[in-house]
Amino acid sequence: MAWNENPKSNKPEGPPDLEEALRQFQKKLQTLFSGGKAPKGDFDLEKHLTAKKNSFWLITGVILLVYLLSGIYVVQQAERAVVTRFGKYVRTELPGPHWIPWFIESRTIENVEQVSNSVHGGQMLTKDENIVSAEIAVQYRISNLQDYLFNTVSPKRTLEQISESALRQVVGQSSLDEVLTTGRAKIVVETRKLIQAGLDYYKAGLVISDLALQQTKAPDAVKEAFDDAIKAQQDEDRSVNEAEAYERKHVPIAQGQASRITQDAKAYQEQAVLIAKGDAAKFSLLIPEYRRAPDVTRERMYFETLEKIYGKSNKIILDVEGGGNQNVIYLPIDKMMQNSTANNQAAVKKALETQAENTSQPSISSNSGRFEERSASGRELERSKRLRGES
């Protein structure tokens, strides 16, 4: 049998009819899109393909619009965004609106101004081989978002390990007394330096904002003794504060008194120097007079010296002339002057005058001549002597 012979018919068949085949295809498509029911009329394939094409572009446009809108994001003022392309760091975005292509780039947003807190500590060994329980509270924030995300697997775990190691190192270099009382501030400073140095070494992207030594406890066996030591330290601080307050109160007064004494000494110095210069000038003026009349000048200088000496005394000594018997009269004028009023002073003066009359005009004799009676104050007599000498 030939290749083109129908097995059911002995008549040979010609080439297939293309129009009939296209018509059959249209019917099948129409039946497919109409739910398996045959169409009542003819199916327009061109219109159907055009409608399908418009629907495709519409759906494609909607998908593209959604894709573009989904890549828009906003970074707040306190935040930073790290953008990666297929997992590799590309850039860090600042606050504001931004866009990235989804499935190509991704972004991670973190608050870099928020301060977080973590507590670390435990039992540690001090320099003097004592066990102490210490805890620190660390406050930190993100300083570099790129380092924070990519340089360490877990920045918080890294911070915890560095903090515990730094605290153990500082406590191990301090005595138990320093940990519990006097060295707490130093421990805080040294621990903070070590923690920040460790974070910078590992480039963890974190910065320490504050650190506080929260709790330090001594072993139970010596807890009472160290409580007494802390109380004694507080008493010492109070005594020091009181001493400083006393110093601030009395030192200025003492400095003022010292300054006043110094000024008085300088004034006395100037006064003494001026008086000495005046006496020297006065003595220089006496030299020509002494050369013209040595005896008179010598006698006059002798009298003036006696007047200066006895003028400062408040006692009167009277020498009575006569036959070898000398009657010395002593009167306590100083006591009488202190305990008397103005009337009593007048009475004392009158008693002196009466006594002088009874002793027949007493006088003071000397090798140079005779004096008149001297009073208790010698200033008037000195003045009269000077006037009489000049005359």
pLDDT at res. 233: 78
3-state secondary structure of 293: coil
pLDDT tops 90 at residue 261? yes
Percentage of the chain surpassing pLDDT 90? 33
């509270």: which residue's tokens? 137
Q: Give the tens place of pLDDT for each residue, 332-361.
A: 555 555 555 555 556 656 666 665 555 444
CATH class of the region 116-218: alpha beta
pLDDT at 228: 81
Q: Give the pLDDT confidence of 134-183 residue by residue, as tens digits.
A: 899 999 999 999 999 999 999 999 999 999 999 999 999 998 878 887 88
Whole-angstrom distance, CA of residue 353 vs CA of residue 371? 16
- Residues in the chain, overall count: 391
Q: What is the mean pLDDT of the segment spanning 208-216? A: 88
The pLDDT value given to residue 81: 93
Mean pLDDT of the chain: 76
pTM (2 decimals)? Answer: 0.47
Each residue's pLDDT tens digit, 17-41:
656 766 676 666 566 555 444 445 4
Predicted confidence at residue 257, as pLDDT, reads: 92
Indicate the Cα dihedral angle 359, 361, 363, 368, nearest 10°: -140
> Tens digits of per-residue pLDDT, 45-76?
666 667 667 777 878 888 888 888 888 899 99
Mean pLDDT, range 72-95, rounded to an integer:
91
Give yes or no for a contact between 142 and 158, defined as CB atoms under 8 angstroms apart. no
